Structure 1
Amino acid sequence: MGKFFKLIKHELNLPIAVVLAAFVVGVYHLFSYMIPFTDNAFVVTNVTPVAADVSGFISEIHVKNGQQVKKNQALFTVYQPPYELAYQQASADYQEGIKKITVLERQMDKTKSLVKASAATLAKTNYELSLKQNQQVVEAISTLEVKKLTYDVETLNQQLTALHQEVQVLAAQIEQQEQTVASLRARRDNAKINLDLTTVRAPSNGVIDNLYVSLNTSIKIHEPIFSFIDTAAYYIQANFNETDLRNVRVGDKVYIVLRMYYFDKIF
């Protein structure tokens, strides 16, 4: 290196210096002609506030300020036990609702069996009554016995009617309970969603910014806690002279070099 500078010192004179300067200026202008550049440009990305969809206080912080994170990575956790208990209660209520439907369906099956049995008994009694009311045997049968059979038929008819009504009531109760179970299912699913939301996760790849909270910090629903810089997509805003972009066409692939980072950051 020392020999190189000594050589320049002895060989460099004004004409050579002028030629070298002209060469540097020429290379500069050629470079600026071939590769447009500007001092009026910005690299921007989306910055979104990070907030919880549930209330409580922070029980765990999984990241640090300035840390790069991946999509769905846990950022912090809201105190979970109240939401776990709410989910367990909602799940138990849902299971209880399903069991009530099972009980009603069994009652329905039992009542339908009673309907069939009563219908068979009624048919048998009607048959016996028709036989004893026959003119050929009516003199051999007492009036009391015929009247008793008549009352039995009326009783069985009323019993059968009551059983049919009970079947209708049970069907309505089952339908109502199914609607109740649908509501309980929605409540259970909502409780599960709230439980999952106690762990706040990164919406995309990015960087944590302005994280200055600590454990046990009380938070409210949708209250911003810190910022999240989305690094999944960058946007370049730049102003160029029209002549610098004369060869650029819509759809062309371009490379953008940030002068302050040299070739460390290329987009």
Structure 2
Amino acid sequence: MTEAIATPRRSRLPVFLIVLLSFLTLGYVIWQMENSPSTDDAYVYADSIDVVPEVNGRIVELPVHDNQLVRKGDLLLRVDARPYQDALDQAKARLVTLDYQIALTQRSVNAQTYEAASAVAVIERARAQAKQANDTLQRLEKLLARGFVSVEAVDQARTLQRSTAAELNTAMLQAKRASAGISGVDALVAQRAEVEAQISIAELNLEFTEVRAPFDGRVASLRTTVGQFATANKAIFTLINSRHWYVVANFRETDLRDIKAGTPANLYLLGDTGKRFHGQVDSISFGVLPDDGGTVVEGLPRVQRSINWVRVSQRFPVKISVLDPDPELFRVGASAVAVLSPRETAENSK
């Protein structure tokens, strides 16, 4: 009878251990979720630019191929530079011609200036003669009243006075005409500034016929070759910045409380889950587009927060900077797993 009672007690012990182990496992999982939030809703990201020529022309050199790694300053493509070189030569030749025109015009202006100065001297001489004739007439008129001079002498003096006055007026008119005839070179100098601007534009366009890599990167989406006519500001291919890699991980809003810039992260790529990469949070998104048909009322979105009576937490992208990327493994859009360690950030801030 005693053995029969002991046997059920022994059979309950494994069940108790299993239940206890389940609770411990559940507690560990909850603790891990609270202290190390993770998500497999993540992908690799890198900044990229569209490689576009800034001038029109036929591609005469394309020394890169699709998916090639290029270094900063490497030639990516070259557009036919002959039309732009001709435009530059033409503008420079026009500047030389204009300089000759300015020099010749300046000589003419100098001659006109000298003539105006000479006319001023003639005025001074005519003014002196007119003054002398007027003084002589006044003296003779006084002597005529006393009978010391003849009427004829006074008439001659009066005629001379009128003649010198007329010469003075003529000299003054000639001086005004000479002064008005000075043309100047201001218009030609203004044209010279315009030609210099044309030369600068032509030099810039000539420089734009070469497109070089602004940073180390990977060529992507190259689907053209030499001979293709390139249109200004139209993309030829994409250049991915391979210097800085990121993982964009979508975390539930309930996990964002302790996540901040600088939070350490462990990253895994599905292409090789055996490798662990280190990173840190760069920033957290402050907005997402609701995908459940939210409506906008008075400028603010109204988003339904429940689906079939179940409240669903929103996910927000967390941008994580990769500290030790593998250049051969990281590709834009590759699937990733991110595990954050907010507790380490809190401990380091103490």
Q: TM-score, normalised by structure 2?
A: 0.56
- How far does residue 161 in structure 1 lie from its aligned partner after superposition? 1.0
Structure 1, residues 127-174: CA drift from partner, whole Å, max 9, x if none?
12332342247939688876765554344222211111112xx24xx3
Partner of 2:7: none
Please tell me whether residue 200 in structure 1 is matched to residue 211 in structure 2.
yes
Separation in structure 2 between the aligned mates of residue 129 and residue 38 of structure 1, nearest angstrom:
109
Separation in structure 2 between the aligned mates of residue 240 and residue 179 of structure 1, nearest angstrom:
63
- How far does residue 57 in structure 1 lie from its aligned partner after superposition? 0.9
1:76 to 1:113, Cα distance in 2 relative to 1, 3 A: same
Separation in structure 1 between the aligned mates of residue 188 and residue 218 of structure 2, nearest angstrom:
49
Normalized per residue, which structure has more strand?
2
- How far does residue 78 in structure 1 lie from its aligned partner after superposition? 0.5
Alignment equivalent of 1:211, drawn from 212, 219, 222: 222
What SS does the corresponding residue of 1:189 show, helix, strand or coil? helix
Gaps of 5+ in 2: 1-24, 141-151, 280-321, 323-350
Partner of 2:17: none
1:129 to 1:217, Cα distance in 2 relative to 1, 3 A: same
Please tell me whether residue 224 in structure 1 is matched to residue 235 in structure 2.
yes
Based on CA coordinates, which of the two structures has the bigger radius of gyration?
2
Partner of 1:5: none
1:146 to 1:85, Cα distance in 2 relative to 1, 3 A: same
- How far does residue 53 in structure 1 lie from its aligned partner after superposition? 1.8
1:44 to 1:95, Cα distance in 2 relative to 1, 3 A: same
Q: Residues 1-267 of structure 1 correspond to what in structure 2 (within 5 A)?
A: 35-133=36-134, 134-135=136-137, 136=139, 139=153, 149-150=164-165, 152-167=167-182, 170-171=183-184, 174-241=185-252, 247-248=258-259, 250-260=260-270, 261=272, 262-263=275-276, 267=322
Q: For the Cα contact (< 8 Å) 2:266–2:277, is it kept in 1?
A: no
Separation in structure 1 between the aligned mates of residue 254 and residue 266 of structure 2, nearest angstrom:
18
Separation in structure 1 between the aligned mates of residue 203 and residue 34 of structure 2, nearest angstrom:
61
Normalized per residue, which structure has more helix?
1
The one-letter code of the counterpart of 2:181 is: E
Q: How many residues align?
A: 238
Structure 1, residues 16-56: CA drift from partner, whole Å, max 9, x if none?
xxxxxxxxx99x96987765432210112344332212122
1:78 to 1:32, Cα distance in 2 relative to 1, 3 A: same
Structure 1, residues 240-267: CA drift from partner, whole Å, max 9, x if none?
356765643x233424423344146751
The one-letter code of the counterpart of 1:211 is: L
Q: After superposing the two structures, state which structure 1 stretch, 222-231 or 252-261, moved more.
A: 252-261
Q: For the Cα contact (< 8 Å) 2:133–2:157, is it kept in 1?
A: no
Partner of 1:10: none
Q: After superposing the two structures, state which structure 1 stretch, 119-128 or 58-67, moved more.
A: 58-67
- How far does residue 126 in structure 1 lie from its aligned partner after superposition? 2.1
1:108 to 1:232, Cα distance in 2 relative to 1, 3 A: farther
- How far does residue 218 in structure 1 lie from its aligned partner after superposition? 2.1
Equivalent pairs: percent with the same residue?
Answer: 22
- How far does residue 207 in structure 1 lie from its aligned partner after superposition? 1.3
Gaps of 5+ in 1: 1-24
What SS does the corresponding residue of 1:66 show, helix, strand or coil? coil
